Structure 1
Amino acid sequence: MIVGLPDSDGYDAIFTVVDRFSKMVHYIPTTSKATAIDVANLFVNFVWKLHGLPKKTILDRGPNFNAKFLQQLYKRLGVEPHFTTAYRPQVDGQSERANQFVEIYLCHYINHNQNDWVAFLPLAEFTYNNGVHSGSKQSPFFTCYGFHPQFAVGDTSEQVVPAADDHANILKKGYEEAKAALSIAQEVYKKYYDRKRCIAPTFVVGEKVFLDAANVRTDRPSKKLSHKRLGPYEVLEKVGRTSYKLKLPKSMKDHPTFHVSLLHGNPTDEFGRNPEQPPPVVTPQGEKEYEVQTILNSKKKGRTLYYFVKWKGYGDEENSWEPKVNLKNSPDLVRQFHERHPDAPRP
């Protein structure tokens, strides 16, 4: 699921479905607030009617997919869910590659206001499915159908129909843009994957390790600085060859198994000392949240209000834009900011 997109025809997210065998992809516009029932309906309306039901699925452990309704739906239909290790995008690499392609394509082709991306999803989907996959050495279309669908825009006809000619030229240009985006996405993904395949550290049971905070879900949408690490947490067991199960606090609702690329030993400086870190604030739910020192600015993006935050104990290079919902524990700072800047965007 790609979320956080600008509103386009009432949609702000893309539900990506990839077939593991053929690599065929479907880009389905949806909303970030889609429920388990919504996701199930999308699957039936856009995937099942074309391909039938899958024997197995690989899900991303997002709240939509983990909802009890969807689990029961799969059970009744005889589908066996298989979950990826928490936050290990390489495991579900086909979806990551498909998502990266459509993001690159839309960034280059949508209008300045970024509110027309839904109109370009069909062309993006066609281009991806008509492109040769590096693993199978053939396109998803050819794998499924045994041929490549035709896409050819002829020269302008003698009978002048300006609107039709303009539309044909737009399609032709869009197809060329999409093919270029696919090449860029394949190159970027290869570099990313190769970098992640470097020699990984090993840990022993009982050792304390730190966990990357960037993707950690909490009961509240509290902000963790992207470079910060949570922990340390005790290693309970090694799972497979490259993952570890951690002893997490009860307040953390995450799946406790993480890929080694997200784990780090005790960080020290060049003198072997533990680096000093600003002490985190412990919320009533027992979660660790980094403290806001002050609010510097505000802006609205679509319907969402953002605040430019300076974090206590960190330099200005770590200042970041945060949605209003992330500042639920800082109402006094929000009030003080608007008192100082009465004309700044506000709720």
Structure 2
Amino acid sequence: MSSDVTRIVDRCHTCHIAKKQHTNAGLYTPLPVPDGPWEDVSLDFVVGLPKTQRQKDSVMVVVNRFSKMAHFIPCAKTYDARQIANLYFQEIVRLHGIPKTLTSDRDVKFIGHFWRTLWKKLGSRLNFSSAHHPQSDGQTEVTNRSLGNLLRCLVGNNQKQWDLVLPQAEFAYNRSSHRSTGMSPFLIVYGRNPFTPLDLAPLPAIEHYSADGEARANQIKLIHEQVRDKITNNNIVYQRRANCKRKKVVFKEGDLVWIHLSKERFPGGRASKLQPRADGPFKVLERINDNAYKIDLPGHYNVSATFNVADLSPFLPSLDDPFDSRTSPFEDGGDDAASGSDPGPSVRLPDMSAQVPSPDDKPG
């Protein structure tokens, strides 16, 4: 009975639109490990901060995927793609050059024509994570949380002056050892950690660096090799740990799927608890990778058509179900022998029609 109920529920239209939730579909697939610092970067924003006297209410967070070095740049939520590009060139390109790849979410600033055209002309490749599933850009989300902790520690009661302490927060973050690399971003990029007030105290020096250029270059190359090996090994550990409770689900182009209507992605009309949780079925237009698919979504939704596989579930038509819930093998015309059950000894019921008087019969 359990398997029959499951089969019927999987094909029930009402059950899908009313009870759809996130699934554990989609394995953890980390991005390829970069070859060196500032070749591959990720970009995100921290919003919702108090507006300062300099009219800043957001932070643009730029993280190098190899060294984990980050830059925290104050900005405003109203900045468009052109202003964000100018800010990136002023603060990042002048220090580290043009990146090979740039990973971000699907913010309207990043999917517009100007942003795509700019980086295409420069030869950089844009990588986008699926909405509300930052599996490919998890390090920027972790950096955002670290930045929030640093600001809460440094700001104190002066909450409208958080932009003045961003340089201190950035220095503290880049001076600290990262869990994935085991080293600080400063050490990976420059071969040594910068001095702090404690380092300038009259204490005996612990580390000595050779002034020879070739020895210094070999030292930095060795550091980069160690960092790359450590990131690769940590990715394998993270992947094994995350995939313990996940399953691999793959759709093909042309498959019909249900989509999950989450409140974060579909804010309009999702306030009521009685609204449907799913919609569909819709056709899969393109398989971007194992975790991201482009769906033939109606235009009235006005959201990105790229979905994470956790927000998709297969559509199972009732026509391919060998068991039809509307019929039963025990009804008239059913074949008990075909159903595999033993009909048992036949019992002939007495004909009661002769014993029941007709309403037209009158007593003599």
The one of 215, 221, 232 equivalent to 2:264 is 215
Match of 2:50 in 1: 6
What RMSD over aligned residues (CA atoms) do the two structures have, in Å? 3.3
The one of 293, 296, 305 equivalent to 1:247 is 296
Structure 1 residues 91, 222: CA separation in 2 closer, same or farther (over 3 Å shift)?
same
Q: CA deviation at 1:146?
A: 0.3
Distance, in Å, in 2 between the alignment partners of 1:226 and 1:265 is: 26
Q: CA deviation at 1:101?
A: 0.6
Q: CA deviation at 1:54?
A: 0.7
Q: CA deviation at 1:76?
A: 2.4
Structure 1 residues 155, 55: CA separation in 2 closer, same or farther (over 3 Å shift)?
closer
Give the fraction of aligned pairs with identical amino acids, expressed as a percent. Answer: 31
After superposition, give the CA deviation of every residue in 1:274-298 in whole Å (9 maximum; x if it has no partner): xxxxxxxxxxxxxxxxxxxxxxxxx
After superposition, give the CA deviation of every residue in 1:162-213 in whole Å (9 maximum; x if it has no partner): xxxxxxxxxxxxxxxxxxxxxxxxxxxx99x967873147375644423242
Q: How many residues align?
A: 230
The one of 141, 155, 178 equivalent to 1:110 is 155
Q: Normalising by the residue count of structure 2, what TM-score does the alignment of the two structures yield?
A: 0.55
SS, match of residue 58 in structure 1: strand
Distance, in Å, in 1 between the alignment partners of 2:241 and 2:261 is: 20
2:104 equivalent to 1:59: yes
Match of 1:83 in 2: 128
Q: CA deviation at 1:106?
A: 2.1
Distance, in Å, in 1 between the alignment partners of 2:270 and 2:148 is: 24
Do 1:196 and 1:261's aligned partners in 2 also have CA atoms closer than 8 Å? no
State the AA in 2 paired with 1:198.
Answer: K
Q: Normalising by the residue count of structure 1, what TM-score does the alignment of the two structures yield?
A: 0.57
Structure 1 residues 232, 47: CA separation in 2 closer, same or farther (over 3 Å shift)?
same
Q: How does 1:1-347 map to 2 (within 5 A)?
A: 1-9=45-53, 10-112=55-157, 114-153=159-198, 198-200=245-247, 202=249, 206-216=255-265, 222=268, 224-225=270-271, 229-236=277-284, 238-263=287-312
Distance, in Å, in 1 between the alignment partners of 2:80 and 2:200 is: 46
SS, match of residue 159 in structure 2: coil
Distance, in Å, in 2 between the alignment partners of 1:226 and 1:216 is: 15
State the AA in 2 paired with 1:146.
Answer: G
Q: CA deviation at 1:235?
A: 4.9
Q: CA deviation at 1:85?
A: 2.6
Q: CA deviation at 1:93?
A: 1.4
Structure 1 residues 119, 153: CA separation in 2 closer, same or farther (over 3 Å shift)?
farther
State the AA in 2 paired with 1:135.
Answer: S
After superposition, give the CA deviation of every residue in 1:108-167 in whole Å (9 maximum; x if it has no partner): 4423462121122111111221122222221111110000111125899xxxxxxxxxxx
State the AA in 2 paired with 1:7.
Answer: K
Distance, in Å, in 2 between the alignment partners of 1:203 and 1:70 is: 31
Distance, in Å, in 2 between the alignment partners of 1:8 and 1:196 is: 43
With a CA cutoff of 8 Å and minimum separation of 6, indicate the structure with the bigger relative contact order: 2
In structure 2, stretches of 5+ residues that fail to align are 1-44, 202-236, 316-364
Distance, in Å, in 2 between the alignment partners of 1:105 and 1:19 is: 19
In structure 1, stretches of 5+ residues that fail to align are 157-189, 267-347
Structure 1 residues 211, 130: CA separation in 2 closer, same or farther (over 3 Å shift)?
same
Distance, in Å, in 1 between the alignment partners of 2:72 and 2:270 is: 30
SS, match of residue 224 in structure 1: coil
Distance, in Å, in 2 between the alignment partners of 1:32 and 1:223 is: 25
Distance, in Å, in 2 between the alignment partners of 1:85 and 1:143 is: 30
Structure 1 residues 244, 63: CA separation in 2 closer, same or farther (over 3 Å shift)?
closer
Distance, in Å, in 1 between the alignment partners of 2:184 and 2:272 is: 37
State the AA in 1 paired with 2:82.
Answer: I
Do 1:203 and 1:235's aligned partners in 2 also have CA atoms closer than 8 Å? no
SS, match of residue 293 in structure 2: strand
After superposition, give the CA deviation of every residue in 1:24-48 in whole Å (9 maximum; x if it has no partner): 1011100110011110111011101
Q: CA deviation at 1:61?
A: 1.6
